[in-house]
């Protein structure tokens, strides 16, 4: 049975009740981590694989606008979609949310079904953006990290994996390639590997 990893959502709000509410609503379909302030949110974005951020605007020390700007300014986190979730309903506030890099804006009090639909849509869009362009002839992958989409460097899979993860790559032969390389004796040698 294949285990499907849940996408990870970071809910950032300075009110504990709001964080618990978001955990309850989203926890069935997503892994939810929370932060009570901007500094913690930035640390989590940097140290964990976050798929989407739900971000309150009105927080002490660092408001949501600044948190979003910092997420979008960092090459390692700029790909994370940010949805503002706030009581600020003025047009100027909504426009500012998009100007600093937000992809959506949901006002409180929010409707559960609307929030779930928006989260699902943006998770799916992020997944589609995350599809790796793979050359079917040479086997290289285009790495668009930190550059305009489509302008990335074409690299070997092992180089891409070591850039993006903590995984170590081991080079070996699959049984078919071993057989081809060894002129037909690969299947006999496969027992040794």
Name the token pair of 152. 């990335």
> What pLDDT shows up at residue 146?
62
Strand partners, 55: 12, 84
And the tokens for 22? 């978001």
In order of 5, 45, 49, the CA distances from 2 in angstroms are 10, 27, 20
Q: Say what the pLDDT of residue 168 is.
A: 74
- Stated pTM of the model: 0.69
Residues of the chain with CATH 3.40.50.2300: 8-129
Fold of 8-129: Rossmann fold (3.40.50)
Instruction: Report the run of H or E that residue 55 belongs to, with start and end.
Output: strand 52-55
CA geometry: angle at 124 spanning 152 and 146, to 5°? Answer: 20
8 Å CB contact between 55 and 65 = no
How far apart are the C-alpha atoms of 90 and 81, rounded to whole Å?
Answer: 22
Q: What is the pLDDT along the chain (193 residues), one digit of tens a residue?
A: 555 678 999 999 999 999 999 999 999 999 999 999 999 999 999 999 899 999 999 999 999 999 999 999 998 898 899 999 999 999 999 999 999 999 999 999 989 999 999 999 998 888 777 667 778 778 888 877 666 666 778 888 888 777 766 677 777 767 667 667 776 655 555 455 4
Distance of CA 57 to the CA centre of its chain: 21
Whether cis (ω within 30° of 0) applies to the bond prior to 7 is no
Q: How far is CA 45 from CA 27, 135, 143, in A?
A: 19, 31, 20
At residue 149, the pLDDT reads: 62
Judge contact between 102 and 83, C-beta under 8 A. Answer: yes
Predicted confidence at residue 4, as pLDDT, reads 63
At residue 181, the 3 state secondary structure works out as helix
């Amino acid at each position: 049975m294949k285990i499907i990893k849940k996408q990870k959502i970071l809910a950032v709000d300075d009110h504990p009740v709001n964080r618990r509410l978001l955990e309850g609503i989203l926890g069935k379909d997503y892994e939810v981590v929370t932060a009570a302030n901007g500094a913690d949110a930035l640390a989590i974005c940097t140290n964990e694989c976050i798929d989407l951020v739900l971000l309150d605007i009105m927080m002490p020390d660092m408001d949501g606008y600044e948190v979003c700007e910092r997420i979008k300014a960092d090459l390692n986190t700029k790909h994370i979609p940010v949805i503002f979730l706030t009581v600020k309903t003025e047009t100027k506030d909504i426009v500012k949310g998009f100007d600093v890099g937000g992809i959506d804006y949901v006002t409180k009090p929010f409707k559960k079904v609307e929030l779930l639909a928006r989260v699902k849509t943006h998770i799916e869009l992020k997944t589609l953006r995350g599809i790796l362009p793979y050359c079917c002839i040479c086997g290289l992958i285009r790495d668009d990290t930190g550059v305009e989409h489509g302008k990335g460097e074409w690299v070997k899979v092992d180089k891409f994996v070591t850039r993006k993860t903590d995984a170590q790559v081991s080079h070996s032969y699959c049984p078919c390639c071993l057989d081809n390389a060894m002129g037909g004796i690969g299947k006999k040698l496969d027992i040794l590997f």
